[in-house]
A and B are shown apart, each in its own frame.
Chain A
Amino acid sequence: MDVMSAAPVVEQLSREMGISTAAALFDGIPPHPVDSVLSPMFRRGGLPRGELVTFTGGQSLSCALATIAAATKERKWCAGIGLGEPAVASIADLGVDLDHFVNLATPPEDWLRVVSILIESFDILLVDPGFLPSASERARLLAKIRERRISLISLRPMSGSTEQIEITDTQWSGTSHGHGRLRSCLVRARSQTGIHRFLLPGPTGTPAEAPSVTQAPAVTPAPVVTPVHMTADAGAPEPVPAGTSAHVPAGASAGVPAGTRTGTHLRQVIGGVG
């Protein structure tokens, strides 16, 4: 890492919108609060604002809805795009305030256009994109969400995301070959902060702690295979020892817009200096 490159990067950063102080760079905008069961999955304990987060795998829609629940209760507006017809009862079960949720039944191919309109006033957008945006569209989208401090959640892998939550395993319980009914689902999720196990939905429909307290180990096992649906430059979640999560090279891949890259660079630069 080249220390000499710090000066131009700082200068470039000072011209960038939205980052006025060094504290803002490191602490950033405070994230949206998240249910206590889910908050360990996020690097800063909450849903980051101005960034793109992806939720993939089984139960990812439930997980995303449970994540936005606390924010909607604080009167933050959330819109769902391309989700089909969600069941209102389950949205309410997951804790989302129905008065601050809107579902857009727009054609899937128009999702980018709908998002670009909703960005003007909404706080959280939950998207199941009908198609992936081109590199230039994505760059513009990411710049816009950073400027408006929107939390954009995508239910498909998309490059440029700063946090990726991938649900690797779901185990439903309650049924036993013709008896009982679905009670809860034990979910194993992998994020930048390690591997997490919790019930989603738990017995009451809300997320709950996993019954046996087997917390994720400090050092996560290396993944055997990268999931096939991840694109090559998707900034695939590199499992790292939990202690070093601050330095996850989130935007270090090729297709990331300039803004995030400079931010990450500076962190690395300063980290290298220290």
Chain B
Amino acid sequence: MSAEPARTLVLTVPDWPAVAAAAERDLDPSTPVAVLHTGKVVAANAPARAAGITVGNNRRAVGFRCPEAQVVAWDEDVDNRHFSAGVGALESLVARFTLLAPGTLAIPLSSLRHGYADEPSAVEALISALVVETGWEFFPGIADTVFAAVLAAGQARRVEPGDTVEFLAAQPIRTLEYAGAEVNELIDVFWQLGLRTLGDLARLEAKDVNSRFGAFGRHVHDLATGTDRSALPDHVREEQLAVERVLDEPTTRSDTLGFLARQIGAELLGKVRRQGLVCTQITIELAAVAGESSNRTWRIEDMNENAIADRLRWQAEGWLAASGHGGGGNERVGDTPSRRQQDPDIVDEPAPDPEDFSADGIISLTLRAAELTTPVGATKSLFDENTGQITHTLERLQGLFGPDAVLVPGLQGGWDPAETNLWTPWQQTATPVRSPRAPWPGALHAPRPTTVEHLAVDVLAANGRPVQARPSGLETEPRTIRFPSGDTEAIADYSGSWPIESGWWDPEKARYRTRLQVVTEPGRALLLSKENGQWYITGRYR
């Protein structure tokens, strides 16, 4: 991809979230489906649109216009899962393609040039193959840049070579929203500046845009002028970049596993290197004889086979210890270092005798390259001080105390600090369970407790009876808090109690609790929560 225009074919499935939701629920194609996110319709399929449902309607408007419509909540997972399953058919048809978003994919036309006579015939062949395979409707769009092709696909048109600049100039400024959610703020600014079309934006000097809006503004300007030449990361077939080794005999010995891991790690890195890529994250999958498996993704800065072997060994030790495979916690990772200090004899014994555990050891190892980038993309930040040394130090601690002893902070969605906490082991990919972007009505406001715990306590009224909580408030005034140790502390002041009800639509997820902040006589503040008739300290202000 050099000076030559990156002529691109974009295929998009209109109303993808609605299509995916229908596929998830096995609905008839003629059933109207509307997908709701934060109370607003984000996608509706053709029958629903025919009934008058448009994007932005609320639930009541949907029910009013089309009572038989299926209203479903938006689920990112469903979107991605169905799409990546569907486009599997494309892997046998074209050499390179990129998934831009669920429902949209891009194919560089240079990869189709050898197989097909001209652009229309190529598109026809691809679409008919995809439609037969998936049953979805695809809109094609062709233009000289990826962004223009996305816009063209929205209108199902082909922009002649060289006409892309004119095509873009005529588009309204709102179309920039296809470039990503973070552009929305800029769009408002552009609108206030009187820029109504992409052409208006393109007429501005690039250096002016750069000085006013920074690098991101410059990027948006490039999109509008059709000069964006940034190459898309190719969709890499991941099964090619995975290595599996089935063991002849199950083992729990970490030295055996480390030895094997070094071998297959070298094999995997060799494969990655031959593709001209660099692997920055790796997924290690271990399978036990009993059929259980452990799956973790590790980010390793200086990827080499020894680093992979270390991670695999830690993962195996932690997993075996936790699941009891490793012999009654005899080799619990957290215990090892202190034991080592007290009793140096134990060190030389790497693991319990393998014969005892041959029935349930690890039987197969799989390594998968989880994140691939070009060699330039893998370099470290220029500005951070001594990141390499930090990494080295923390990895040493992980080696001594187990990977879960070194934790980096992150935030996820939730009501209480215990739920919003997302402590992830160093160099592992954080996987939030609850979306931070979803609304969390009743979430605790600042000031929030500094530490989190879950300690059952008694909250007593003046007459010594436990304080009951009702949705309308506390039944009696809390006076004393009694800790499990038997100590008591007088309550000087307390906040309003507020109930939090979550997951009421699903009996398995349903939780009801009452939250209360108290200040004790010595001036300490605590966050309490009552759940299933029991009070807990869930946070301390320290």
Q: List A residues at the B interface (Cβ < 8 Å).
A: 58-62, 65, 75-77, 83-93, 98, 101-107, 109-110, 113-114, 117-118, 120-122, 169-172, 174-185, 201-205
Query: Taking the complex as formed, is B504 at the interface, i.e. its CB lies under 8 A from any CB of chain A?
Result: no
Check A185/B338 contact, CB under 8 A, given A86-B450, A88-B421: no
Check A58/B524 contact, CB under 8 A, given A175-B493, A178-B477: yes
Selecting from B194-202, B281-289, B350-358, B396-404, the interface stretch reads B396-404
A175 touches B494 (CB 8 A): yes
**Interchain nearest-CB distance for A14 vs B (Å):** 29
Check A181/B410 contact, CB under 8 A, given A85-B451, A88-B420: no
**Which residues of chain A are within 8 angstroms of B523 by Cβ–Cβ distance?**
58, 169-172
Bound complex: CA of A98 vs CA of B385, how far in Å? 16
Query: Taking the complex as formed, is B446 at the interface, i.e. its CB lies under 8 A from any CB of chain A?
Result: yes
Scan B435-474; emit 1 where CB is below 8 A from any A CB, else 0: 0000000001111111111000000000000000000011
**Which residues of chain A are within 8 angstroms of B518 by Cβ–Cβ distance?**
175
A83 touches B446 (CB 8 A): no
Q: What 4 new A-B contacts, CB under 8 Å, besides A105-B407, A117-B400?
A: A104-B405, A172-B541, A179-B495, A205-B446
Selecting from B20-28, B372-380, B387-395, the interface stretch reads B387-395
- Name the residue in A98, A110, A176 with the highest tally of chain B Cβ atoms < 10 Å from its Cβ: A110
Scan B143-181; emit 1 where CB is below 8 A from any A CB, else 0: 000000000000000000000000000000000000000
Residue of B nearest to A109 (CB): B338
Residue of B nearest to A179 (CB): B496
**Interchain nearest-CB distance for A153 vs B (Å):** 14
A91 touches B406 (CB 8 A): no
**Interchain nearest-CB distance for A22 vs B (Å):** 28
Query: Taking the complex as formed, is B349 at the interface, i.e. its CB lies under 8 A from any CB of chain A?
Result: no
A-B contact pairs, 24 of them (CB 8 A): A59-B542, A84-B451, A84-B453, A85-B421, A87-B448, A89-B444, A91-B450, A93-B446, A98-B408, A98-B410, A98-B411, A102-B394, A103-B408, A104-B405, A106-B401, A106-B405, A107-B338, A118-B397, A177-B477, A178-B473, A178-B477, A178-B495, A180-B496, A201-B446
A89 touches B445 (CB 8 A): no
**Which residues of chain A are within 8 angstroms of B386 by Cβ–Cβ distance?**
77, 121
**Interchain nearest-CB distance for A233 vs B (Å):** 27
Residue of B nearest to A62 (CB): B450
Bound complex: CA of A182 vs CA of B386, how far in Å? 40
Scan B492-518; emit 1 where CB is below 8 A from any A CB, else 0: 011111000000000000000000011
A105 touches B405 (CB 8 A): yes
Give the top 9 A-B pairs by smallest Cβ distance, nearest first: A205-B446, A87-B417, A121-B389, A201-B447, A61-B542, A170-B523, A175-B495, A90-B448, A88-B409
Query: Taking the complex as formed, is B370 at the interface, i.e. its CB lies under 8 A from any CB of chain A?
Result: no
Query: Taking the complex as formed, is B138 at the interface, i.e. its CB lies under 8 A from any CB of chain A?
Result: no
B452 touches A86 (CB 8 A): yes
Bound complex: CA of A219 vs CA of B405, how far in Å? 46
**Interchain nearest-CB distance for A84 vs B (Å):** 5
Query: Taking the complex as formed, is B525 at the interface, i.e. its CB lies under 8 A from any CB of chain A?
Result: yes
- Name the residue in A77, A98, A172, A179 with the highest tally of chain B Cβ atoms < 10 Å from its Cβ: A172
A117 touches B393 (CB 8 A): yes
**Interchain nearest-CB distance for B132 vs A (Å):** 48
Bound complex: CA of A185 vs CA of B446, how far in Å? 12
**Interchain nearest-CB distance for B432 vs A (Å):** 12
Query: Taking the complex as formed, is B426 at the interface, i.e. its CB lies under 8 A from any CB of chain A?
Result: yes
Check A88/B411 contact, CB under 8 A, given A59-B541, A104-B406: yes
**Interchain nearest-CB distance for B390 vs A (Å):** 5
Bound complex: CA of A103 vs CA of B420, how far in Å? 16
Bound complex: CA of A109 vs CA of B335, how far in Å? 12
**Which residues of chain B are within 8 angstroms of A103 by Cβ–Cβ distance?**
407-409, 423
**Which residues of chain B are within 8 angstroms of A201 by Cβ–Cβ distance?**
446-447
Bound complex: CA of A88 vs CA of B531, how far in Å? 23
**Which residues of chain B are within 8 angstroms of A174 by Cβ–Cβ distance?**
495
B449 touches A172 (CB 8 A): no
**Which residues of chain A are within 8 angstroms of B497 by Cβ–Cβ distance?**
178
Bound complex: CA of A84 vs CA of B334, how far in Å? 15
B450 touches A90 (CB 8 A): yes
Query: Taking the complex as formed, is B337 at the interface, i.e. its CB lies under 8 A from any CB of chain A?
Result: yes
B384 touches A75 (CB 8 A): yes
Query: Taking the complex as formed, is B519 at the interface, i.e. its CB lies under 8 A from any CB of chain A?
Result: yes
**Which residues of chain B are within 8 angstroms of A85 by Cβ–Cβ distance?**
421, 423, 451-453
